[in-house]
Every structure is written in structure tokens, then in C-alpha cells.
Structure 1
Amino acid sequence: MDMEHLLQRYFGTTDLNQVQVDAIPAATDRMQVDLGLEKDRGKRFALWSLLFMLDAAPALDTVFDDEADREAARNFMDLAAMAGPDEAP
């Protein structure tokens, strides 16, 4: 599951600039439900990452049981912070 697939699935486009602002809450609600149901570690991380970029990610300890996954998420957050608001992944 890559980011383009997630964007297409939840927003109907791979370009976030084309997403209507009022569509974001419903999409993030669906992503949060799917995140809670998803068992695959990679897919969970991809969903959480997109939710993070949309400022809707749940706390790490509620999403990731494995410390390595939590550390990967922290690294992602650090990289996003270093990129700045205009360059976030």
C-alpha cells in the first residue's frame, strides 16, 4: 500500500491539492476506522503516516504495539518536522 493508493482510495485523487477541504473529515474518519481494523504492520504504518500528515493521527502507543514501529513513526515525525510545513512528506 503506497501513498498514492491511499490518496486515491480515500480522496478519489492522488493530488491533495485537488481535495475539497470539507471532504477531509469524512476521509480521516474512514482512515481511522480502517487503521483500527488493519492487521498488516506496513499498511497500518502507511495509514498512520497519512493521518499524521492530516493532523489526525492517534497516539503512537495506541496504534503500534511494537517498539520498533513506534520508533519508525517517531523518525517519520522528525523527518516531517525537519521538512517544514511547505515540504512535509
Structure 2
Amino acid sequence: MDLDAISHHFFGTTDIDTLDPTALAAGRDRLSLAFGTEREPGRRFALWAVLRATGEAPAPHLAFKDPRELRAAELYASVLRQSETSED
């Protein structure tokens, strides 16, 4: 799954940081709806990762029931937290 393609599809741009609050909220709404209805695990994870990047993803334990998907999401979130902490 191409994260740039997801960003462009749901937000109209690959640079989400340039969006005004209204456009960001609208994109998040569209993305959340797609995440909630997606059944293919790889695509679902990619949608969740973009939601996570925008600060709107559900916690991994709420988003994923499959143990492997849950573990992958927890690891991804952990790496992002470490990255954010090391940038400070």
C-alpha cells in the first residue's frame, strides 16, 4: 500500500501538514470511515498508520483483534513514540 496514494486519495495532497483544519478534519473523517469498513489486513494497517500520523488513530488494542496485526501496530506506535522523543 502506497502511503502517498492514501494521503492523496483522502486528503487531496501528499503533504498533510499543509492542510487547514477543516480540510484535515474532512480527510480524517473519510479515512476513518474507510478504516472502519476495510477488511484486507494490509490495507487496513496502512489506513491506520495514516490515521496515526494525523493523530486520530484508535489505540492498537481497539483497532486490531488479530494478534499479529495488533503486535505490528503496537511496534509501529512504539517506534514512532521513540522517534518523537528523540527529536525533542
SS at match of 2:56: coil
- After superposition, residues 8-87 of structure 1 pair within 5 angstroms as 8-84=8-84
Deviations 1:5-29 (A, max 9, x none): 1110011111123222221111111
CA distance in 2, matches of 1:29, 1:76: 22
Deviations 1:28-79 (A, max 9, x none): 1111111111111011001111111111112323321211101100111111
- Cα 1:46/1:55, change in 2 over 3 Å: same
TM-score (norm 2): 0.86
Structure 2 unmatched runs, 5+ = none
SS at match of 1:55: coil
SS at match of 2:17: helix
Answer 1 or 2: which has greater helix percent. 2
Q: Structure 1 residue runs of 4+, over 4 Å off?
A: none
Structure 1 unmatched runs, 5+ = none
